[in-house]
Amino acid sequence: MHQPYYKNLLTGTAELPWVRLHGVKDYLDMAQKLSHFPAIHQTFNIVPSLMEQVEGYADRSLKDTYLDVSYKPASTLDYQDKAFILNNFFSINKDRVIATHPRYYELFFKKQRNSPFDTQDFLDLQVWFNLAWIDPSFRVKYPALKDLVAKGRYFSEEDKQVVLEKHAEILKDIIPEYKRISESGQLELSVAPYYHPILPLLYNTNVAKEANPRTTLPRVRFEHPEDAQSQIDQAVDYFAGRFGAKPNGMWPSEEAVSEHILPFIIKAGIKWIVTDEAILFKSLKRKKRDTTLLYQPHLIEREEGALNIIFRDRNLSDLIGFTYYKMPAKEAVDDFMNHLNNIETAFKGQDILVTIAMDGENAWEYYVNDGHDFLDLLYQRLSEGQNIKTTTVSEYLFKFPAKFKIKRLAAGSWIYGEFGKWIGNPQKRKAWEYLAKARTELNDYRGEKIELARKQMYVCEGSDWFWWYGEDPDGSFDVLFRMHLTNFYIIIGKEPPDYLNNPI
C-alpha cells in the first residue's frame, strides 16, 4: 500500500488528495475482505509516510484543496472553485466508475459539451466525486451511503456532509483494523523504508551502473548511506509504535535492492525481504528462468547476521496487476488457477513457495466493481484448493527454512532488474543533482529546525518524484518535488536556488 508524501510541511496541507481517496477506496476493504475467507493468509506491506498521512486525515489535522472545495456550499462557489471542480472532479476511471452512475455520467458529458453547470449540478458533482471514490462494498454496507447512491441526484448539502464524514470514519479504521487482523495471525504486516526511497541510490547513485553498466549517471553524485539507514530505522520504529512489535519483513521500496544496503536491513532486526525474480537470476548468474530456484526462499548470511529473501513470480503478479482486468472475473480466475495447477503438477509432492507481490491499490479501479468480483472468486477458489495453501511469509519460513544461500545480491529493482525508472533520463538525473546539492546544505546546518530539515530531506528522497520525471502527464510531480525542495531551503534559512522556480 503506497502513495507518495503529498503533505506540504510548511502549510500542513496535502497538495493532492490521493491518500484520502485511495484510503476510502482500497486500504480498509482489502483487509476486511479476509474475514469472509478465513483460509486466506496474506501479507500486507505498509509505507509509514502513507500511514502518517492517513492518520492526519483521520484526526482531521490534514486537509487538501479537493476536500476544502468539497466542503464549500455549492451556492457560495466562486469562479475559481467552479473551474477547479470541473477540471478535477472527474478524476476517476470513466468506464469502470463514472459510467456506472447515470447522474455522474450525465455530468461528465455535460462538461464535455462545455454546457453551463447550475448550482445543483455543482452540488451533485461534489457529492458524486467523493461518493464514487468510496469502495463499492462500503456504498452497500452503510445504509446512509446506499440511500445516496439510490437517490442519485438532487443532493442536499446535508447529503454531502454524510459522504465527507464517512471519509474520515473509514480512514480512522484502517490502522486499528490492520492491527486486529494481524494479531489474529491471518495477516502479516511488513514495512517499507519510511518515505519510500530507492535505498541503493541513497547509498550511492553509482550503484545504478552495477545494475546496468550503460546507465548515464548524474553529474553530481548522491552518496548518503546514513540516510538509507535512517529511513529503515525510522520505518521500524513507526511500525513498532503502531502495531506493538517490530516487523519481521520489509518490502524495500520498488523492490530495489543491492548488496550495500543489506547490513542496514539486518541491523534493524528485519528477518526477511522481498524482491523481483530478475534479481535472483542476476545474483546467481543464470541466463534462463529457473522456477526450481524461484519457488523457494533463499538465505543471505553476512557479518551483521542472517536475512531471508523471497522472490516474486513476475508473470503471475503482473497478470493480476495489468492483464486480468480486461477479462471476465471467472475467466481470469480460471486462468490463474490453471497456472498454479500446472506449477503444482511440475513440482508434485514438493513444498514450494509461489510469491505473488504487487501494488495493493492501483489495479482495482481498472476492474469491474473495483476488483471485488475477481478477488472474491479468487479467494474462494484458493480456499478450496486441494494442494494449494496461502500463507504469510513468516509462517512459511517457520515451517520451511531457506536451504540455498546467495553469496552476493545483485543490484536492481522490479522494473527490468535495474534503476532506470528513477535515474534513466536527463530529467531524472537533474532531479538527483538538485537533491545532492541540497543534501550538502543539510550537512552544514546546525539550526534549531534540524529535525524538520531532516524530515523534509527524507521526503525529497522518495521514489515517486524520480519515477515520474520525463513521464509526468500534467507536471504535478515536478511541482511537488520542487515544492518540497524549496521548503527544505526555507526551513534551513537559505534562499532557494533560482533553478527551483523552473520545471525540470
d(Cα 115, Cα 368) in Å, to the nearest integer? Answer: 30
Query: Do 36 and 170 sit in the same domain of this protein?
Result: yes
> Domain boundary at 175, 207, 237, which?
175
Q: Please say whether the beta carbons of 477 and 431 come within 8 A.
A: no
Query: Do 168 and 201 sit in the same domain of this protein?
Result: no
Give the per-residue pLDDT at 155.
98
State the pTM of this model.
Answer: 0.97
Residue 329, in any domain of the structure: no
Which are the contacts of 267, defined by CB distance < 8 A and separation ≥ 6? 229, 304, 305
Q: Please say whether the beta carbons of 145 and 138 come within 8 A.
A: yes
Query: Do 69 and 22 sit in the same domain of this protein?
Result: yes
Residue 309, in any domain of the structure: no
Query: Do 166 and 196 sit in the same domain of this protein?
Result: no
d(Cα 9, Cα 7) in Å, to the nearest integer? Answer: 6
Closest CA to 290 of 419, 412, 404: 404
DSSP string, 208-231: HHHH-TTPPPPSS----HHHHHHH
Residue 106, in any domain of the structure: yes
Give the per-residue pLDDT at 407.
97
Residue 302, in any domain of the structure: no
Residue 228, in any domain of the structure: yes
DSSP string, 288-320: S--HHHHTS-EEEEETTEEEEEEEE-HHHHHII
Give the per-residue pLDDT at 143.
98
Query: Do 17 and 157 sit in the same domain of this protein?
Result: yes
Q: How many structural domains comprise the chain? A: 2
> Domain boundary at 147, 175, 203, which?
175
Helices (H), 113-247: 119-133, 136-141, 143-151, 157-184, 199-203, 207-211, 225-243
Residue 64, strand partner residues: 14
Host H or E run for residue 274:
strand 272-276
CA dist 110 to 90, 92, 122, 143, Å?
Answer: 12, 17, 11, 30
Residue 21, in any domain of the structure: yes
Length of the chain: 504
Query: Do 164 and 41 sit in the same domain of this protein?
Result: yes
Give the per-residue pLDDT at 181.
98
d(Cα 456, Cα 472) in Å, to the nearest integer? Answer: 22
DSSP letter at 473 equals: S
Q: What is the dihedral of CA 145, 146, 151, 156, to 10 degrees?
A: -10
Query: Do 41 and 73 sit in the same domain of this protein?
Result: yes
Residue 243 CA to chain centroid, in angstroms? Answer: 19
Query: Do 23 and 129 sit in the same domain of this protein?
Result: yes
Query: Do 413 and 274 sit in the same domain of this protein?
Result: yes
Query: Do 122 and 252 sit in the same domain of this protein?
Result: no
d(Cα 324, Cα 367) in Å, to the nearest integer? Answer: 8
Amino acid at the residue 225:
P
CA dist 111 to 208, 281, 474, Å?
Answer: 46, 51, 20
The residue segments making up the domain with residue 26 are: 13-175
Residue 3, in any domain of the structure: no
DSSP string, 367-382: SGGGGHHHHHHHHHHH
The number of beta carbons lying within 10 Å of the beta carbon of residue 360 is 18
> Domain boundary at 146, 175, 204, which?
175
Give the per-residue pLDDT at 473.
87
d(Cα 290, Cα 452) in Å, to the nearest integer? Answer: 47
Query: Do 56 and 158 sit in the same domain of this protein?
Result: yes
Query: Do 160 and 223 sit in the same domain of this protein?
Result: no
Amino acid at the residue 137:
S
Q: What is the mean pLDDT of each run of 10 residues along the chain (504 residues)?
A: 97 98 98 97 98 97 98 98 98 97 98 98 98 98 98 98 98 98 97 98 98 98 98 98 98 98 98 98 97 98 98 98 98 98 95 97 96 98 95 98 97 98 98 98 96 98 97 94 98 98 96
